[in-house]
Amino acid sequence: MRLNDEEQAMLAGEMGEPKRWAIDHQIKVGRMFDAEDLVPVSQSHMMADPESVGDAGVSFLEKLADQGARVAIPMITDPRGVDLNYYRPLGQTEEMADLDRRTIEACSKMGILMTNTCTNYQTIMSPVLGDHVAFGDTGVVIYSNSVCGARSNYEGGPSALAAGLTGRTPRYGLHLDEMRRATRRFVVRQQPKGLTDWGVLGALVGKLAGSYWEVPVIEGLEVVPTSDDLKHMGAAMASFGSIPLFHLVGITPESPTLAAVGGEKLKAEEITAADLNALRSGFGGRGDKVDVVVFAAPQLSLVEMQQVADLCAGQTLKTPMLVCTSPQVYADAVRMKLVETIEASGGKVLEGTCFYNQYAREIGVANGWKRLLSNSTKIVNILGGYGYQPALASMEDCVASAIAGEIV
């Protein structure tokens, strides 16, 4: 890999051990993907929830912080594993909270901004067309690439940290023009209505395309999605297929036409109502008991918070309901009394966490939760491996089910 003078100095350890580790890590990864050099990035976003970082990872972060590591560019974080204002009632332990406290201290010492959000493109600083970034959360990466036209690979915790320290990332994958061209072409015949429909469409395309190296282009959409629609679509596509970029013809910035992304040469694959229903029917049905209702994955926007609050207003929930949002939205939702409305019905709003990365297995066991209902196609996909029997429904039906105590 070609390195400039500054990068050579980093590798030689002249700029401290943390930067030496960081660039060495980037070279190892870049070599596996045949990167020729490093590209400067404007922001970095790291997943560092304690469940995935683990004790070994937290010790690693502390060691770097003690060695004087300091980020070179704005660097922000994904949701935490524990809402430190509300964890004991969920059955989370003091050990889990301590691991989170240690992570926060080590990261803060390095100058990392603890934004704790997987919706930073809605809340912090949205990247722009052509912007090279090093983003972590898969939902963030696919949204930033597809909707904003920014350029990022999936940067897992270690490599996002490395990018924060060096201010660059290996130039491979989606930093290259040729890797952003469509490889699969899908034609939609049924128009999505609402967040869950967008999620199901994303899930199906993700499942069909099914690899990090595929770029789906979707045509046939007659409705223009909102930011929240695309948030759910992208998160589901990334979750089901590990897909980091999609194009919507006439909607997303790199695909004003099918030809602009090379899609006209690809075989058109139809997505029918039957395909969508088959995917949906894999996740639960009416009349089933429900143990917990969850709104998360990704965290809720202020608009979604208002929608949930409106559905809860004046109601009493029979089933526990958890709503996960970012600290930025949480503050606004408190000020606008949306949190108060949701909690008056018996729901609980969690700040800076997301359900699936807050020890979902352990809190499921602690609370006897098996049957989980959500409007997030991403979360119902993940939680099968965590001992849950997840079911999928619209936001309206989720709240109605929490009121009824069974899936309506």
Q: Is 280 in the site for other proteins (CB under 8 A)?
A: no
Task: Tell me the C-alpha distance between 73 and 76, whole Å.
Answer: 10
**Least distance in Å: CB of 372 to other proteins?**
15
- Rule CB under 8 A: say whether 53 interacts with other proteins: yes
Alpha-carbon dihedral sign for residues 334, 347, 118, 245: negative
The answer to the question of residue 1 lying near other proteins (CB under 8 A) is no
Cα torsion 344, 349, 351, 353 to 10°: value is: 160
89 binds other proteins (CB under 8 A): no
Q: Residue 100, interface with other proteins (CB under 8 A)?
A: no
Q: What is the DSSP secondary-structure string of 189-232?
A: -S---SHHHHHHHHHHHHHHH-STT--EEEE---SPPPHHHHHH
339 lies in the binding site for other proteins (CB under 8 A)? no
Answer for which of 158, 284, 298, 327 binds other proteins (CB under 8 A) is 158
Given a contact cutoff of 8 angstroms between Cβ atoms, the answer to whether 159 and 135 are in contact is: no
Query: Tokens at residue 325, please?
Result: 């949002």
Residue 382 touches other proteins, criterion: CB under 8 A:
yes
Buried b (16+ CB within 10 A) or exposed e, 49-81: bbbebeeebbebbbebbeeebebbbbbbbbbbb
Q: DSSP character for 113?
A: B
Say whether residue 136 binds other proteins (CB under 8 A): yes
Residues 218, 247: contact at Cβ < 8 Å?
A: yes
Positions in 210-239 near other proteins (CB under 8 A): 210-213, 238-239
Residue placing its CB nearer to other proteins in the complex, 83 or 214:
214
CB 344 within 8 A of CB 309: no
Smallest Cα–Cα separation from 353: which of 64, 15, 78?
Answer: 78
When asked if residue 47 is in the footprint of other proteins (CB under 8 A), the reply is yes
Residue 57 engages other proteins in binding (rule: CB under 8 A): yes
Please report whether residue 337 would count as binding other proteins according to CB under 8 A.
Answer: no
Q: Is 156 in the site for other proteins (CB under 8 A)?
A: yes
**Which one among 44, 119, 301, 357 touches other proteins, defined by CB under 8 A?**
357
Q: Among 115, 153, 353, 374, which residue interacts with other proteins (rule: CB under 8 A)?
A: 153
Cα separation, 329 vs 354, whole angstroms: 13
Amino acid making up residue 243: I
We find the least distance from the C-beta atom of residue 214 to other proteins, in angstroms, to be 10
Binding residue for other proteins (CB under 8 A) from 159, 325, 353, 401?
A: 159
Q: Give the chain's radius of gyration (CA, Å).
A: 21
38 is a contact residue toward other proteins (CB under 8 A): no
What's the min distance (Å) between Cβ of 241 and other proteins? 7
43 CB burial (10 A radius; 0-12, 13-18, 19+): buried
- Write down how long the chain is: 408
Interface with other proteins includes 381 (CB under 8 A)? yes
Q: How far apart are CB 100 and other proteins at their closest, in Å?
A: 14
The only residue of 8, 12, 28, 310 in contact with other proteins, by rule CB under 8 A: 28
Q: Which of 54, 68, 130, 285 binds other proteins (CB under 8 A)?
A: 54
Torsion of CA 295, 121, 110, 98, to 10 degrees: 0
Binding site for other proteins (CB under 8 A): 25, 28-29, 31-33, 47-49, 51-57, 60, 136-138, 153-159, 173, 210-213, 238-242, 357, 381-382, 384-385, 387
